[in-house]
Amino acid sequence: MPQRDPFRASEVESRRTRPAKPPLSRDAIVEEALHQLTAEDGGAMSLRKIAKALDTGPASLYAYVDDMSELRALVLDHALAAVRVDDAEGPWRDRLEALLRSYGKVLASSPSLAQMAFQTTAVGPNALRIAETLLEILAEAGVDRPTAAWAIDMLTMFVTAVAAEHAHGADPGAPDGAVAQAINRAPASEYPRVHAAREEIMSGTGEERFAWSLDVLVRGILSRAQS
Amino acid sequence: MPQRDPFRASEVESRRTRPAKPPLSRDAIVEEALHQLTAEDGGAMSLRKIAKALDTGPASLYAYVDDMSELRALVLDHALAAVRVDDAEGPWRDRLEALLRSYGKVLASSPSLAQMAFQTTAVGPNALRIAETLLEILAEAGVDRPTAAWAIDMLTMFVTAVAAEHAHGADPGAPDGAVAQAINRAPASEYPRVHAAREEIMSGTGEERFAWSLDVLVRGILSRAQS
DNA sequence: ACCTGAACACCGTTCAAGT
DNA sequence: ACCTGAACACCGTTCAAGT
């Protein structure tokens, strides 16, 4: 009966996003969730919005997904499938940077996605594939296994943290941001060093800082490694 | 049941008859918010819960706080006041570790608090005080200013990331966790290196890994510095 | 087994109205 | 200027009921 309402917008919207009528399935749910996350407005996903997009009620999703936290884990791993793991050839250092950049780019594709990477530890097949490749690269770099085992945690954590910070819109370079304002307002009397270093603190693009930080990490890891 | 009294027990009058309810104020709101965050059940804060605890409606809070994101920033800085900034004496390396440990401990006092440290960049006076001290320590270590300026970002990001991961309850040491399960189930054929390194990946306490990671960072930073 | 409507117990935010 | 009740537009999750 409620389907006959000619003004129902949901039918039109759902046609827009997915032209063929979607059968309800775990995969369709995860895909729609990821679609909402990567929407241009930096959107967030919700079970109710997913249900609406799939032309059903929120309760129906529970046939395919235990709860929100399971959905988050599924969505995260689904997103990680886009990480290019064996794109680059060449020396290990280049491959490491390429992999981590790809990883970071995927996580930064949505503020919520980066956030999720902290809330739910990624343990799906794609996360494993990334870990495997990182171990490969570090082995080629001559890093011993115990060091490498702990190092990959630092590297992924680093990328996730950068993505989370960047996604939330804190470009430290922008002179109009709240960060810049706070630092510029920091009185030299109380915070002399912050004041003196304020130029350097806010200098550099995201790219430059990423490369610099990765270099710090690699140097530290290599210096700990028994090669 | 809003039984708590954020103020000192100088007044012994019964709360039951609620003769004098605490006056609404920005500070009372922030304090109650932080109290909810650090509740034992790993609780989350909400404007409505804060309002209820302060015996008023949610709309009343908007006289003191612009919106949720401002409240988050206020709460974060309020929490950072507990970070011990000049507790330790002695060599810079010890002071650095003490400061970062105190920082991490504060952030890890609530899952939501650690999460917040990513959502909202801390720019309050307490965050500045921490940055100032870090610059001091790195200067003593002989690190040049440009290097130090970028290094303190890495150090705080590192602590925040560790706290966020730890707070969400992912002890990589516990053999019953989802992480351990996934890694142990990783087929040796597909993920040979992960499989081979599974013992090392999950070894170590949080303390040990924190110390190890900090050492990696310090080595990397020192190796970049022009001293 | 899958799907549903309806309810439950929450959210942040706005707004006209009171004091 | 401060505070309020009520509403608006959302949440995740459960449950009895349908197919």
Nearest nucleotide relative to B61: CA against C1': D3
Q: How far is CA B189 from CA B83, B178, B194, in A?
A: 47, 21, 10
| Six-digit token string for A28 | 């369709």
Distance separating alpha carbons of residues A151 and A159, to the nearest angstrom:
12
Give the model confidence (pLDDT) of B36-71 as tens digits: 999 877 789 999 999 999 999 999 999 999 999 999
Choice between A194 and B171, residue whose per-residue pLDDT is larger: A194
Give burial (CB, 10 Å; 0-12/13-18/19+) of B42. middle
Is B62 within 8 Å of chain A by CB?
no
Q: Which residues contact B70 (CB under 8 A, 6 or more apart)?
A: none
Distance separating alpha carbons of residues A187 and A204, to the nearest angstrom:
23
Q: How far is CA B126 from CA B77, B130, B134, in A?
A: 6, 6, 12
Contact residues, chain A, for B160 at CB < 8 Å: 161
pLDDT at position A88 is 74
Q: What's the mean pLDDT in B21-26?
A: 79
CA torsion A103-A107-A109-A114 (nearest 10°) is -170
Give the model confidence (pLDDT) of B77-96 as tens digits: 999 999 998 877 899 999 99
Is B224 within 8 Å of chain A by CB?
yes
**What's CA B154's distance to the chain center, in Å?**
15
Is A131 within 8 Å of chain B by CB?
yes
Topology (CATH) of A84-226: Tetracycline Repressor; domain 2 (1.10.357)
- Give the confidence band of B227 by pLDDT, cuts at 50, 70, 90: low
Give the model confidence (pLDDT) of A122-146 as tens digits: 778 999 999 999 999 999 999 999 9
Picking from B177, B199, B191, B165, the residue whose alpha carbon sits closest to that of residue A131 is B191
Q: Which of residues 182-201 of B touch A (CB under 8 A)?
A: 182-183, 186, 190-194, 196-197, 200-201
pLDDT at position B181 is 81
User: DSSP character for B21?
Assistant: P
Q: How far is CA A74 from CA A26, A125, B18, B155, in A?
A: 9, 10, 49, 31
pLDDT at B27 over 60: yes
Cα torsion angle, B109, B92, B121, B29, sign: positive
Phi, psi at residue A204, to the nearest 5°? 90, 145
Task: List protein-proximal bases of chain D (any atom < 7 A from a CB).
Answer: 1-7, 10-16
Run of H or E residues at A13: helix A9-17
Phi, psi at residue A8, to the nearest 5°? -60, 120
Q: How far apart are the first and last CA of chain A?
A: 72
Contact residues, chain B, for A196 at CB < 8 Å: 145
């401990």: which residue's tokens? B105
Task: List protein-proximal bases of chain C (any atom < 7 A from a CB).
Answer: 1-7, 10-16
pLDDT at position B210 is 97
Distance separating alpha carbons of residues B218 and B216, to the nearest angstrom:
6
Q: Which of residues 198-217 of A touch B (CB under 8 A)?
A: 200-201, 203-204, 209, 212-213, 215-217
pLDDT tens, residue order, chain A (227 aa): 333 333 333 333 333 444 445 678 999 999 999 999 998 777 899 999 999 999 999 999 999 999 999 999 999 999 999 999 887 789 999 999 999 999 999 999 998 999 899 888 777 899 999 999 999 999 999 999 999 999 999 999 999 999 988 877 655 555 557 777 888 888 899 999 999 999 999 999 899 999 999 999 999 999 999 76
- Give the confidence band of B176 by pLDDT, cuts at 50, 70, 90: low
Contact residues, chain A, for B146 at CB < 8 Å: 200, 203
| Six-digit token string for B143 | 């690190």
Contact residues, chain B, for A223 at CB < 8 Å: 216, 219-220, 223
pLDDT at position B169 is 63
């400061």: which residue's tokens? B99
| Six-digit token string for A97 | 């940077």
pLDDT at B102 over 90: yes
pLDDT at B8 over 70: no
Distance separating alpha carbons of residues A28 and A7, to the nearest angstrom:
26
SS3 category, B122: coil
**What's CA A209's distance to the chain center, in Å?**
17
pLDDT at position B184 is 85
Query: How many residues in total does chain B contain?
Result: 227
pLDDT at position B121 is 79
Q: Do the beta carbons of residue B108 and residue B163 sit within 8 Å?
A: yes
Q: What's the mean pLDDT in B143-163?
A: 96
Q: Which residues contact B131 (CB under 8 A, 6 or more apart)?
A: A191, A194, B152, B156
